[in-house]
Amino acid sequence: MEKLHKIKVLILGSTGSIGTQTLEVMSGHADKFQVFGLTCNSNKKLLQAQAKKYKVPGSKICVSSENQKKIYELIKDENVDVVVNAISGADGLKPAIATLKAGKILALANKESVVLDGTNLKKLEKKHARKGAKILPLDSEHHAILRLLEAENMQAFDSKRVSKIIITASGGPFFGYVKKQLKKVTLKDALNHPNWNMGPKITIESATLLNKGYELIEAHYLFSAPLKNLDAIIDRKSFVHAIIKFKNPRKTLAIAYKPDMKIVIGDTLLKLHYEIYEKNTSKKFANKKIKILEGEVISKYKFDQIDHKTFPAIKNIIKEFKTGRIYDFYKRKEETIERFLTGEIAFHELL
């Protein structure tokens, strides 16, 4: 039997929530994927345990807080096919840029890099496309948008064919709260996300709905979609991930599955394998749990409107974005979230 080739994956931020889930997915398909390299910020112990388990040599692991250059050597290594960028925060941006410049596939969980430098990342993706540069979103809503567009033979927003792209939000742990109640919530409450088990920064961003603001900007850049054609609504169960209203012919499609990032990671990586090594470009999802819902069926699910008065983050970020102040806004938010996580400020001060 012909031996199938393996896709070699470098995981940046392998010790985090997305990083560890990527390793789990890959180990479930060890015939298709090889862990090329692993990086973390400071959690050396876990990094070394991962390296041992997945047989990654010491020369292919990197602790960024000790060696800031090595990550770029790993990214540029000619044996790397895919870079999973699962670093949290603005420090994910430079590695994202380096990945595209190296002509690699960038499986991007680090949405901060798109928010901060989306125009440039899309430019680099185009410039280095012939070498193989491509951005694949590892964010459930954006993965869902991509799959819905692909189902209609599209890659990006097209005003002739799409009227609206809607992403869902869970509403976070404080859905339905009024301002007064938010003054009493604790760090523990804020870290207790109802549907997803994520790293601390994004969990807090979800509790304030700031994450959804970032995701609207992420969708704007990744799919060249005008902000006026983008919207967000609440699905408390995070079962529906994105909804697209198409025109000519008119129809509404949504992607749904029980919230689990391993589904997003697995679908993304397996599809790549099918395309690269099995020459299989069929539209079927690599993961059978993913469903496309159509029209009537979607309206059977319960959606809620976002309470922008209590959670002004989305409106605020869009305003800052439109006036070109997103970088400073992001930096301010990153700093205040850090202060909240270390107990210096209260939750309502994040709003």
Which spans of this chain sit near ligand NDP (rule: CB under 6 A)? 13-19, 40-43, 64, 86-89, 91-92, 109-112, 139, 196, 198-199, 202, 261
Gap between the Cα atoms of 224 and 156, Å rounded: 6
Gap between the Cα atoms of 300 and 240, Å rounded: 11
User: Residue 113's closest CA among 91, 139, 135?
Assistant: 91
Residue 41 or 140 having the CB closest to Mg ion: 140
Partner residues linked to 251 by β-bridges: 246
Q: Which does 19 bind (CB under 5 to 8 A by kind): Mg ion, ligand NDP, none?
A: ligand NDP
218 counts as binding Mg ion under rule CB under 5 A: no
Residues numbered 131-190 forming contacts with Mg ion, rule: CB under 5 A: 139-141
Helix/strand/coil for 247? coil
Helix/strand/coil for 123? helix
Residue 140 or 208 having the CB closest to Mg ion: 140
User: Residue 167's closest CA among 141, 149, 195?
Assistant: 141
CB of 253 to Mg ion, least distance (A): 19
Q: Which does 91 bind (CB under 5 to 8 A by kind): ligand NDP, Mg ion, none?
A: ligand NDP
Residue 140 or 252 having the CB closest to ligand NDP: 140
Helix/strand/coil for 231? strand
Number of residues that bind Mg ion (CB under 5 A): 3
Residue 14 or 140 having the CB closest to Mg ion: 140
Q: Which does 15 bind (CB under 5 to 8 A by kind): Mg ion, ligand NDP, none?
A: ligand NDP
Partner residues linked to 61 by β-bridges: 38
Q: Are 290 and 266 in contact (CB under 8 A)?
A: no
Q: Which does 18 bind (CB under 5 to 8 A by kind): ligand NDP, Mg ion, none?
A: ligand NDP
Q: Are 82 and 102 in contact (CB under 8 A)?
A: no
With residue 319 as reference, give the H or E element that holds it. Answer: helix 313-322
Residue 38 or 144 having the CB closest to Mg ion: 144
Give residue number: closest CB to ligand NDP.
Answer: 16
**Which are the contacts of 348, defined by CB distance < 8 A and separation ≥ 6?**
179, 182, 183, 185
Residue 138 or 162 having the CB closest to ligand NDP: 138
CB of 188 to ligand NDP, least distance (A): 17
Contact residues toward Mg ion (CB under 5 A) are: 139-141
